[in-house]
Every structure is written in structure tokens, then in C-alpha cells.
A and B are shown apart, each in its own frame.
Chain A
Amino acid sequence: MTTVPQQISLEEWDARYTELQQAGLHEPEYGGPLSRHVECEGDLRLRQLRFDNSAAALRLWNFLLTENERLHKARAQGDLLVGTMKDLGTVPAMVYSLPGVRAFYPDGTWWTPCLMSCTDRLLEQAEALGIEALSCPVRAMLAAFENQEHFPIPDLLICSVGATCDDFSAIAQRLAHLGHPVIWWEIPRRRVPDPDESACPLPGGLSAPQVQVELVREEIERVAVALGDAAKRKLDTQLLQAGIRAANVVRRQLAALRTAVYGSAGAPLPALEMLIAEMLAIHFCSDRTECIAVLEELLAEAQARLAARQFIAPPDAVRIYWVNPPADLRAINLLEECGGRLCGADFMFTHALEPIPEDLPPIDALARVALADPMIGSATERARRIVADCRKTNAEAVVVARIPGASHCPWESEQIRSIVRAETGLPTVELEVPPICDGLLPTLRHRLETVIEIARARRKSK
């Protein structure tokens, strides 16, 4: 860290990049100025975002924005590519246990219309393929499979079904109808064990009936066999244990980063970069080794800033807990613009941030983590966890982002907000964020400013 931390525009990043280069910036293979992603890849939305100005953030963004390119390269080098869908974090931990195999989430394409400012036309193409505009932006994935202009078509597709969003399940089925074979595995709706059932502890302080853990274990075993068959190498206990240990390195790094950033008086890193960093947990952005290096640098940057008491958001910024990822990354920039800062988040994959138990047989451990998914239990259970997180992080307000067309949002958003209000008294606000939210920016800004104003007023009254 050599300069004062601040959020800068893409144009400002060009000058900053030259400055860093002159200072002897050492970059990985995928490095380069951020603006090239606009020029070469059409990631036009970057022009409207505000980025952290550190070299660590540059590396993070370059890592994220070169994922498709890196996947194509990996394919050319003979790596086996596995498309994992919906489970967010469990199957990739298994995939990366096998040498020469990479996992990625085609679901991630849901952010492509945002990044490319809809010039990719994926949403319209998905409509032409039979998925209506009323559906979640994740429908972009279907079009990306068909036009093959984004990620390489995976050699194997694995999708969890059961307690999942209807929109995603419908889109994945459409994908199968279009000729992409899918291995479906069942993830049951997590429930509280009945009094006469034996309960099994899950990561994150949750529990599930033993019978559900056994079911998921059996399904994960089936997935492991399929992976082994595709990779022509048995995914045995030893490989899985090593894979879990490596996945836990990432999870521990993220835990340290969250503690450093969310726990500090001021915010050493912006909300947007924290969202991107947390996302790395689910499939390591297709490169586990590099993911660890990226996070290491980011954590070092956050710690250095904390030591120097340099912040992106000042200590008096209102501490916001954020629920669900926004479909437009621009929306999360609003936090700092409105006088807030991120102090915690549930971006729908809290289970991918929990360490995978290393003292259990690996398949059993993976089953437990899969069952700790916040999206497969009741909204009440998810809300209670959010309440606990809010208390732990001294949150002053809660923002629930709504994803247009996602089947879970209309039901759970209000339930989460009412439980949070009842149990903590915190002000809450719901923001529906479409893939490009420019038209709604004034409204979103007003809503955020209002909730931040209320939080400030509560501070004074204490």
C-alpha cells in the first residue's frame, strides 16, 4: 500500500495503472489495465463502476474478468471442464481435488448482461429459447450455452435440484432439452429434526436430521463417481481430503478478510470488492492456486490499511448488512456513495464460507456443508442467521436486494425483513435491482439514503 485508499473510475484506473507500472508492478499472466476489458470484451458496465485503487484490487478484477479466457486456455491445454450448477460451493471443492479438472458455474453468466450493459443480448436470446422475460436474469446462462460466445461448453454438467429456485430449475431443464446432458443430484429442503429423529450438526450452527445428511451423502457419492469416470481417475478419500484442505485455505482467507474488513471501525475495502472476493469461495474463479494468491494480496492490503488507519469508508459510515447479490454491480457502489459501508453480507452462499469439517469422512463433510446452504432451509432460519450476524457485526441497517424474477425473493424478502425488524429493531429496506439499474438509480439512492438517515437518527437517540 503506497497511496491513500479511494474508489476511482475506470478512466482514473488507467492513470493509476501507469503509475503502478512505473513503480514496478508485478502482475500475473492475466494482468493488464482494467480498461482493456471494455475495449476487448465489451464489459461496458465497468465505465459506471467505482473501483478500489489498490494493486490488490486490480488483480482481483483482472482475475474475475478473465475467467472465460482462462477457461478456454485450460480447455486448449487439455483440462477437463465441469459445469456445476446451483449448489454454490460444494461440487467445486470435489472437482478441484482431481488434477487437470476445473469447475465453474455457468450460473455466473447472470452477471454478463450487467457487465456488458446488455449488449451481449443474452436475455433476449434466452427469451427466444423459451425462457420468458419475467424470469430471473440467470436465464442468460441458457443463451450463453447456445451461442457459445462466453464460457467453453463444459465436458460435464452437474446440477443440484430439489430445494432450489424454480427459475433456475426450469432453465437447467430447458438446457437439458436442448441437448446438454445434465447429472442431477438431489438436495432436499433442510428441515428441523423432529423430536424422535437423530439430529446432525451442520456448519454455521445449523442442524439437520441424520436421514437428510445420509441422503445427501449418497448423492454426493454419486457425483464423485461421475467425476472420477469423467476424469478417468477415482476420486478417492485421499484426493478429497487434500481438496477439502485446499478449499479450506480459501475459506479461512475469506474469514480473515471478512473479520478485518467488516470488523473494523472504518472500511478498509469497498463493498463491491468484498462482494467479488466472497464470490471466489464458490469455485475459486476457475483457478484455485491463483485464487489463494489473489486473496492473500487483498488481505494484506486490508491489513496494511487498517494498520495505517486508512479507510475507504470513514468510521462514522453507517454499518450495513447486505442480503442477496445485486443483479447490477453498480447498485452496491451506492453504499459508500450514500454514506454507508458493508459490515456483513449473506450473498446466498454463506455455506461456502464455512470451513468444511476436516475431521469427518470427506463425503460426509461435504454433505453437511451442502445442507448448510441458506437457500434450502426456511426463510425463518435464514433470517435468524442474518439476525445473529447483524448482532455480531454491529449492523445498523439491513438491505435486502431483490433479484427480479427469482422465485425465492418475493416470499422470503418480507419474511426476512419482518424477523430482522422484530428481533433487532434495525431499519431495513428492500431494493429490487435489475441487471442494469440506471433507470432506477435515483429511487435506489433515495431508499438507501432514507434507511441510512434512520440509522443515523437511531445512533443519536441512543
Chain B
Amino acid sequence: MKVYCTSPWIPVEWVCAHGHEPCGVWAAVDELPSATAEGVCPFARALVELASKNHQAAFVFTTACDQSRRAADAVLLQSHTPVFLFNLPATWQTPAAHRLYRAELARLGRFLERLGGFSPSYLELMLVIRRYSEQRAMLLDLIQHSPARQAAEAVMQYFWPDHAKKPASAGKVTAHGVPVALIGGPLLPSQWGIFDVIESAGGRVVLNATEPGERCLVPQLTLSTDNSDLQAVLADHYLDHWVDVFQRPNTRLYDWLAVRIAQRGVRAILLWVNLHCDLWRAEAQTLRNRFGLPVVMLEAHDIPANLNRVTTRLAALIETVRSGSRPADLHQPRKSEPYAVQRTNPGDSP
């Protein structure tokens, strides 16, 4: 059975090991609804519509955000589609958070079995974990050497191998363009045009931290012969490594970004947000203060609807960054901000 996973923190290997086909939901959403009720996240609304129409598949929603958990309620109220609401812990530094995540993974396993799946043997689970883990390692390496769009396609394939007919091609990374980071929430294949827009404006995405981007790939998990409880090992590995805005505190997101922003010489941050996504929108100021880089908020519903507006804004940003001056909206880091750092940015790219 197709099991649509609405979050990268639902281990696809766990779904696969139970005999189902994991489908990263991002590839299934063609486009966001043009109009939603005020206050409703268009992505969450799109998931409700998708789930309500797909009675033959199952959907795993999460509590990563209020919109997602309430979207699950809406599906349960209006359709017979099997829905599992996975309680992702917001905290991550406590034994309780680990126990919660482990328990939810076990509960998901039972749900998958009820849908006709099976409980994997130790060996079966080990092989699946190893396979996915190796794929992630290859993917993380590939991302470093691929243009952003191809990398996005490859990541999408990891979360849903059969969604695309063509395998992702490595392509060639262009050395031109101002290096930028694209950070934020769900980025659908129908919105990948944003990569072209960024390039045509003179930039290039060297860090895709949207969903599902590089941020959504937990590192390789090396299993040892001591691992008697593979389920617990898998759960702990995910919880110890996932990087997301909803975590409290969300310092891990900033630590993860800091390393990559410095390594890749990022000169500007593009914050990719959905309408009414409180969690990502509230981070704009902290991103500015923490990294001392210009941050431009890109509204997901503007792609492709308001392409010209987006292109103009991006061109202005890139031009400003190239010229070495700082955009007017960029304020100096406040002294009271613990994360405030002075910008130590490498030189302009060729």
C-alpha cells in the first residue's frame, strides 16, 4: 500500500520494512490551492484534499505544527482514508522525548501491520536500514556536487523512489552566481522553478534547507553487532539528528545552518515560507541576527503566480550583495541577542 509521509522525520525505511511503499507527500501535491480559508496553511489544506481523495492509500501526518495536526483531524472527520497522526516531540534533549519518539515509531509499526503490512525480522529491518542509510550517504555527497534543481530531484526520489520516471542526473555545478541558502518549509516539484529564477537573477543555491532538502536527510547510520534493538537505534538516530524549526529549542537548526553557511560561503538567505506558517516566518529576524546576512522572505504562493515580482526582488538582492553593500532592511545584530555574530563572510564568488 502507498503510505504518504508528510514529514521527513517519519523514517521511510520503517514504512518500507513493514512492506509498504513510502511516498514523500511533496511529490504528490501538484500545486497549492489558490484560495484557502483565512489562517489556513495552503500546504496543509492541499494535504487534506489529497488525503480525502486517496482512500486506497494511507497518510501519516505529524504534530510538527498545529496546522498539520489539525489537518489530520480534518481528514479523519471528512473521509475514510486511513490516517496516522505521528506525535513528533518538539523537545529533543530529554529522555522523555526519546521515549515518546520510540513509542510513536512502535505505534506506527502496529498501524502499518493493520494495513496489511508485516513486522520485519531483525535481519529484514537491518538490511532496509542499511540500504536507506547508504542511499542517504550517497545523496549527501551528490548534493555537494550537483546543481540545486537536480539535487532537489534526487532528494525527492529518496523519499518516494517511484515518483519520477527519470533518475536524477548529477549535472554540473556552476561556479557562477552569488551563493545563497534557501531555507524553509515545503518546496514542491511544481515550485522548483524557483531555482531557475534564482539563477537568472544571478544567484545559485548552495544550500537547500527546505523540505525535503538536504536538511531532511539524517546522516548515515552505521549499525554494529551490538545493536540488539534496531527499532530503538533507528528512533534515536532520527531524533538525535533531525533539524527543524519546530524543535524547542531550535538551536540545532541554527548550529546545522552555521556550519554549512560558513563552509559554502553563503552571501544571502532566502526564507521560503507558506502563507500562515508562523513557525518559519518568525525565524526571519533570528536568521538575520545570527548570520549577519541579508534575509529575503519568499512567499511560496508567489511561485509561479507572481514570478516577475519574485525575480525583481531577487535581482535587487543579488545586485546589492554583489556590490558589497547591505540591503536597507538589514539591521545590525542587536547586542542583546545571544546569537548575534559579526559577519565573517568569505569573498565574492567569481
Contacts and interface: CB of A to CB of B under 8 A. Distances in A.
A380 interface: yes
B110 A174 contact: no
A162 B89 contact: yes
Interface string B215-236: 0000000000000000000000
Contacts of A164: 66
Contacts, number: 145
A355 to B, nearest CB: 26
Interface stretch (B140-148, B308-316, B332-340): B332-340
Scoring A163, A177, A409 by chain B CB atoms within 10 A of each residue's CB, the highest score goes to A177
Contacts of B91: 161-162, 184-186
A222 B94 contact: yes
Contact of B100 (A169, A184, A186, A194): A186
A152 to B, nearest CB: 17
Interface stretch (B36-44, B130-138, B151-159, B161-169): B36-44
B329 to A, nearest CB: 12
Interface string A212-231: 00010011001000000000
Scoring A182, A185, A410 by chain B CB atoms within 10 A of each residue's CB, the highest score goes to A410
Interface residues of B, number: 48
Nearest to B107: A194
Interface in B275-320: 276-279, 281-286, 289
Interface string A336-365: 000000000000000000000000000000
B71 A173 contact: no
Interface residues of A, number: 51
Nearest to B39: A410
Given A132-B281, A135-B278, A161-B248, A186 B89 contact: yes
A179 B251 CA distance: 12
Contacts of A191: 85, 87
B259 interface: no
A442 B51 CA distance: 40
A124 interface: no
A407 B282 contact: no
Contacts of B97: 186
B81 interface: no
A134 interface: yes
Interface in B74-114: 74, 76-77, 85, 87, 89-91, 94-97, 99-100, 103, 107, 110
Contacts of B337: 177-179
Contacts of A211: 103
A163 B67 CA distance: 11
A173 B85 contact: no
A448 B288 CA distance: 45
Contacts of A161: 90-91, 248
Contacts of B277: 166
Interface string A175-215: 01111001011101101001010000000000000010001
Contacts of A72: none
B69 interface: yes
B96 A218 contact: yes
B286 A410 contact: no
B338 A407 contact: no
23 contacts: A131-B282, A132-B281, A162-B87, A162-B90, A163-B87, A165-B278, A169-B90, A169-B279, A170-B279, A171-B282, A174-B286, A177-B289, A179-B337, A184-B90, A189-B69, A219-B96, A222-B94, A378-B73, A406-B39, A407-B39, A410-B40, A411-B71, A415-B74
Interface of B: 37-40, 63, 65-67, 69-71, 73-74, 76-77, 85, 87, 89-91, 94-97, 99-100, 103, 107, 110, 246, 248-250, 276-279, 281-286, 289, 336-339
